[in-house]
Amino acid sequence: MADTGSADIKKLSFEQAIEELEGIVSQLEGGKVPLEKSVAIYERGEALKRRCEELLRQAEARVEKITLDASGKPSGTEPLDMT
């Protein structure tokens, strides 16, 4: 499951990933999930958390690339260099 799970997680938007992560947290907090399933969904939750962090870092980098004019007002953007 880890390999196919990782592939589909990389396709999720931030909103989709956070929604699924919230569902996992809810299940685990409920305490009614068998141990083996708890471990599996916890692992998926960790992967979802990493996806959310990655998307947030990308968004932050894009915001940082907004150029300002002399008065400090946004004047345009520069292409984001993801390398």
pLDDT digits (tens, 9 = 90+) for 34-56: 999 999 999 999 999 999 999 99
The mean pLDDT of the chain is: 85
Task: Decide if pLDDT at 4 tops 80.
Answer: no
Handedness of CA 28, 33, 34, 37 (dihedral sign): negative
Percentage of residues in the chain having pLDDT higher than 90: 61
pLDDT at 62: 80
Residues comprising the chain, all counted: 83
Nearest to 51 by CA among 17, 2, 1: 17
Q: What b/e sequence results for 10-27 when a residue is b if at least 16 CB atoms lie within 10 Å of its CB, and e otherwise? A: eebeeeebbebbeebeeb
The token duo for 16 is 């989709």
